[in-house]
């Protein structure tokens, strides 16, 4: 599986996601521009020594990447209409998450609306933390696909 973070802004979130990717064998793709330097001490601190175990790629154009993708992809957004548990994940799914403060661009909703899912939350609340959201959805995808993890 792959996690894509669209223009992440908070280094601690990305560092925590690196840790989650490390313990699950998940690749991580970061869409530039990033809201921090990849040399940030906050980023390195949050990811501890997990960096070496994760395949990390940086790209500039998510739309071009998805137009060439052959693997199924899922956008996760507080504006999605379908519950993430309704998605049919596969072992090669691509899970895409928006920036912490701006989410995903409107044109993505318009172009790929059928690929948008959400994590249910109480009304009148904004959104979950990005690292928490990645963990919730990634482990549901792992559960659905029965990917072997040591328990």
Token digits for 38? 């990849």
Query: In which band, very low, low, confident or very high, does the pLDDT at 125 lie, cut at 50, 70 and 90?
Result: confident
pLDDT at 46: 62
Pairing relationship of beta strands 56-59 and 27-31 according to DSSP bridges:
parallel
- The closest alpha carbon to 78, from 109, 41, 118, belongs to 118
Query: In which band, very low, low, confident or very high, does the pLDDT at 84 lie, cut at 50, 70 and 90?
Result: very high
Token digits for 69? 């993708």
Residue 99 is given by DSSP the state: B
Q: What is the pLDDT of residues 35-76, one digit of tens each?
A: 888 776 766 666 557 778 899 999 999 999 999 999 999 999
Q: Is 151 part of a structural domain of the chain? A: no
- Name the more confident of 141 and 147: 141
Q: Is 21 part of a structural domain of the chain? A: yes
Q: Is 65 part of a structural domain of the chain? A: yes
- Expressed as residue numbers, the domain containing 110 is 2-145
pLDDT at 126: 80
The CATH number of the domain holding residue 24 is: 3.40.1280.10
Q: Is 30 part of a structural domain of the chain? A: yes
């Amino acid at each position: 599986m792959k996690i894509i973070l669209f223009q992440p802004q908070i280094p601690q979130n990305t560092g925590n996601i690196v840790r989650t990717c490390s313990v699950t064998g998940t690749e991580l793709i970061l869409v530039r521009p990033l809201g921090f330097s990849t040399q940030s001490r906050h980023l390195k601190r949050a990811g501890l020594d997990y960096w070496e175990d994760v395949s990390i790629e940086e790209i500039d154009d998510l739309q071009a990447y998805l137009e060439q993708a052959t693997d199924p992809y899922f956008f996760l957004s507080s504006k999605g209409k379908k519950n993430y548990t309704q998605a049919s994940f596969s072992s090669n799914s691509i899970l895409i998450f928006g920036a912490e403060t701006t989410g995903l661009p409107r044109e993505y909703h318009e172009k790929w609306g059928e690929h948008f899912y959400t994590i249910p939350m109480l009304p009148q609340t904004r959104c979950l933390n990005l690292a928490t959201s990645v963990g919730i959805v990634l482990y549901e995808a792992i559960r659905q696909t029965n990917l072997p993890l040591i328990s």
